[in-house]
Structure 1
């Protein structure tokens, strides 16, 4: 931990570089972020444990991610973005045992050794549909300048679907907001991604002041939560459509998705003497679902969010996490009232659940890539998270203490509750 903090301190001395100031027409920009998350849990009480159970023993783990964000303008309305990234460390209990996992900055890669890879590499082209323009500020994967108020946008390459879908002002980014996986996005949205959260595909978007519509077709992993994407796009592909509508100080996003992949089927696996979802995999299987995502801005300091999502739950979870239904709500409060405008206090509650087919499979002794205690006394996985984001330095340096209470981890009344205490250190420029 000390080593990571020294790296952060050194990086604070490096000025952000871009060709021009925010709001001007940039041809190039560069940004950086580093996030270190340390979490501790004192162990959970349990009547029994399985191979994917949250640990009954005291444990502490640390994760780190570092990302370079490079943007280049190729033409008036054409931009290219490249994000080299380093990630290392581990989540508690090997990032298993809780469906709404408490650290959105960790991955189930098995090897905690820091690894460098290309997170994003995509091209974005805008087609103007209006003479009126608006100012776009210089930001992460966003070149400052003028953009049409109404436009079509095409994105192609490697990216995260979470970059464009299911966004929320108050609950979306584990580097700066809530850490829990089921507060990053709609919990039952099994969005296409490899184990590190990225995919390859194409995204089409229509944006106007009145409403926005976006569609994406993206590759799914070749195996559940795997690192390699399935090249057989005729049999394995994800489709999603989202409609976004502002209402004064509120905003509503409605999302639908369907994934096709070489999936296993819960009912078939449950009939086996030794239930194994991987033994029932077959192309042609699908997972479909929807999500509703609402936010309301009470003032510049106070906002509220709520999400509800559901998928059919017949076939195995393929990419995100083992949640078939999820309801969440919370608030985010800026610190202006106590003269700390760069600080944020966040409080959220989540209730996650799984389908009857999924329950029966786990109760028969089956496991997924995220949960599996050997048997199951089913109960909804209910979570409370609270954090405080404290601004430390004029060059965008924050520390965030965080606490999460998880009732019935992995939907099991015979285990838990789990208590996770953590701290996040984040720097960006």
Structure 2
């Protein structure tokens, strides 16, 4: 509770102690962060659609009346007053208007990403059985993101609260069952079963000069381990080996802290530690912090603005042996992403981990992506990628006398098509070449159509 009290006290002080503290928008950068990129992408879609402009300073009649009655009312309740007095409540009430009103009132950024993903596979029958799997598997994924800048001033620096929560549900069948039919050692998507986890709840203090930042709270290395399109199943590639670090052994969300050093806008260096016991991130667990087992990481990112902009990063991490993951591990991830002109983006990743915590211990991925290739809709996106993974045989327990392949390959192609301001559809095709757990097959296929609802 000490961390919560500290964050709350900081927020209250930001609103009430001095008049020079004010909200502001964070500077733009090319360093990849899964949740920050969702917020920037959401803002980009809205700006291109020329819908409600968050920077518009025209006051509604209700807002004018409130300001006339309380002209100097600037305190902790000001955001609530501004939200309730906004024009979003006057006529044609909608979720989009309420979200924009909340952003304007609090100087926050909000992204409400909802995806619906049906997937079909060939084959649909597990090895050694005659009962076919139910098709399709239906996945619903809801992952809200909020970034709330509490204050920004030359004297106090910048204080920010960041939040992400992910909810995944299945019906008719799960991707975990379809994985068995396909024979992959990884997965046909990033979330193969029902889950709910708190990926981020942090307070960040950036000190004056924007060189040093300290972050406290719950976070995951998944947020920084990747590039623009190979790190988020909701917006980029869908297959496990192309939507994240396929050999990752770190937590989905765990309490900890890290220090960030940014000598220039192009360079970020992070070092930090997390509670080693919490692997799933289902809640905030402060009790484990006193058990003296921590995971450590170091991260370096270079984001040059030349040649169209890009990012080159290195992540090193270690995890301790805990009951839920007895194997102690050390891992690494090298990521490269580079724009080649306005319409072409190339990426690559090489990652690995020691120990027996996961079914893959080495993976290399590469591909290309083109955003809005025909200048039709800002949500349009084309992607083509491939990943080769080395199977960690010691981490698998296949049926007796069933051989395992040492490597498996997945190639994936998708095309996102935007429809209006809130909807996009993404036909997706994956082909697994020499699936590790189906040695009798040369290939297995996965078909899907992802529906994105953007608010």
Fold agreement, TM-score > 0.5? yes
Structure 2 distance, partners of 1:412, 1:235, is 42
* More helix per residue: 2
Over 3 Å counting, the alpha-carbon distance change for 1:397 and 1:44 in structure 2 is: closer
Which whole-Å deviations, capped at 9, do the CAs of 1:307-347 have from their partners, x for residues lacking one? 011222x3333xxxx21000100000123347455311101
Matches within 5 A, 1:95-114: 96-97=179-180, 98-109=184-195
What SS class does the counterpart of residue 393 from structure 2 fall into? helix
Q: 1:71·1:80 contact (CA, 8 Å) conserved in 2?
A: yes
Superposition deviation, residue 72 in structure 1: 3.1
1:27-426 residue pairs with structure 2 within 5 A? 27-43=107-123, 48=128, 57=133, 59-76=135-152, 77-83=158-164, 85-89=166-170, 91-94=174-177, 96-97=179-180, 98-109=184-195, 119-129=199-209, 148=210, 151-163=211-223, 165-193=224-252, 198-207=253-262, 208-221=264-277, 231=288, 234=291, 236-247=293-304, 248-249=306-307, 250-262=310-322, 285-312=327-354, 314-317=355-358, 322-337=359-374, 339-354=376-391, 358-360=392-394, 362=396, 366=397, 372-374=398-400, 375-393=402-420, 395-415=421-441, 417-426=443-452
Q: Which runs of 5+ in 1 are unaligned?
A: 1-9, 50-54, 110-114, 130-147, 264-277, 367-371
The separation in 2 between residues aligned to 1:259 and 1:71, in whole angstroms, is 28
Tell me the number of residue pairs that the alignment of Structure 1 and Structure 2 aligns: 345
Counterpart-to-counterpart distance in 1, 2:117 and 2:431 = 17
Kindly name which structure, 1 or 2, has the bigger radius of gyration based on alpha carbons.
Answer: 2
* Equivalent-residue separation in structure 2 for 1:335 and 1:262 (angstroms): 45
Kindly state the Cα deviation for residue 360 of structure 1 after the two structures are TM-superposed. Answer: 5.0
Partner in structure 1 of residue 100 of structure 2: 17
Describe the superposition over 1:396-416 as per-residue Cα deviations: whole angstroms up to 9, x where unpaired: 321111111112334552356
TM superposition score normalised by structure 1 = 0.70
Corresponding residue SS for 2:341: coil
Aligned CA distance change for structure 1 residues 128 and 262 (closer, same or farther; 3 Å): same
Higher relative CO (Cα under 8 Å, sequence separation at least 6) belongs to 1
Residues 28 and 338 (structure 1), Cα distance of their counterparts in 2 relative to 1, 3 Å cut = closer
Q: Is the 8 A contact 1:124 1:156 kept in 2?
A: yes
2:88 corresponds to: none
Q: Secondary structure at the match of 1:101?
A: coil
Structure 1 or 2: larger strand share? 1
Q: Is the 8 A contact 2:301 2:311 kept in 1?
A: yes
Change (3 A) 1:392 1:178: same
**1 CA distance for matches of 2:234 and 2:408?**
23
CA-to-aligned-CA distance 1:67-108 (integer Å, 9 cap, x gap):
333343333211223345543216324475433312224435
The answer to whether the 8 A contact 2:150-2:160 is kept is: yes
For the Cα contact (< 8 Å) 1:18–1:28, is it kept in 2? Answer: no
CA contact (8 A) 2:148 2:160 kept: yes
- 1:195-237 per-residue CA deviation (whole Å, 9 max, x = no partner) reads xxx3222232122224211123223456x76957792664643
Q: CA deviation at 1:389?
A: 0.4
Distance 1:47 1:30 in 2: 45
Aligned-partner Cα distance in 1 for 2:394–2:168: 36
Aligned-partner Cα distance in 1 for 2:340–2:366: 15
Query: Matched residues in 2 for 1:388 and 1:26: separation?
Result: 36
Query: Offset at 1:243?
Result: 0.8
Shift of 1:45: 6.7
- Spell out, residue by residue over 1:101-134, the C-alpha distance to the aligned partner (whole angstroms, 9 max, x if none): 122244354xxxxx7x7553221111133xxxxx
8 Å CA contact 2:170–2:194 kept in 1: the answer is no
